[in-house]
Amino acid sequence: MSWRWLLWLIPIYLVGLVVFAPARMVLWFIPANADVELTAVQGTLWQGQATLSYRVTPQQQIIFNDVRWQLAPWRLLSGTAAVDVQVPETNVVAGEGQVELGLGGEVKLAGEFGGNLQQAVVAYQLPVPVTLDGQWSLQLENFQLSDLSSGEWCSQLIGKLTTRGTAIRLNRQWTDLGPFATALSCSANNEIVAKMEGNNSVGLSFETRLAGSQMAPQVFISGKLQPTVQTPRTVTDVLVFLGAPDASGAYPFSFRL
């Protein structure tokens, strides 16, 4: 009789191990040399919460607090962790998406995220020389990285960055600039490319390339500012500080960070 009970208890015990697997087991899907760290981990492997830190560059780290996830168990059979992720609004970047992590370090991400413009500029030390206001949103249709520990920026990328209610502070005065849209893609050299067309209130167009590696990033920016009849007077008044316009009336710029 004791052996019969044992035969019943073994599968029940194994099921219990799977169902109540600790949340820290999600670390199995993160390469040891990747610049990703999970702390304050709570819950189980299937449904948990943690603080996620990602070191973008040696000097820059992005932290997401109280990130919640829900794992699809059946996807583990293929060696992939498919996770629904929610980032609360208490973070600089908030939103929700779907993440796939492979045992070989592959990463796929899709979702929608957003936040306040100026808050993001300050938190991530972005090279923006003016004070901004407004909201930004990122619609990430497809982001893929073949190896999280490779140091590359992307393998595939389709996305759109939009700002709404964009305003700029010049001479102690706020000026509304309206919406802006930037298309995101991945180049053949694994560079993240951000491109804006000039169909906005200030005629701003540019292309930015995030090149190099995550340990040694290189940023190249080139574009132009070509005022239109819709450009606010407060903006055109300060353009003289950019120098003389070219023959088409545009103010070109190009620099490297």
pTM of the model: 0.82
pLDDT single digits (tens) 190-233: 999 999 999 999 999 999 999 998 878 899 999 999 999 999 99
Tell me if 253 sits within 8 A of 241, measured CB to CB. Answer: no
pLDDT single digits (tens) 99-157: 888 877 788 999 999 999 999 999 888 888 889 999 999 999 999 999 877 889 999 99
Using the predicted structure, report yes or no on whether residue 62 has a pLDDT greater than 80. yes
Using the predicted structure, report yes or no on whether residue 182 has a pLDDT greater than 50. yes
Q: Where are the domains of the chain?
A: 104-256
Q: What is the mean pLDDT of the chain?
A: 84
Using the predicted structure, report yes or no on whether residue 79 has a pLDDT greater than 80. no
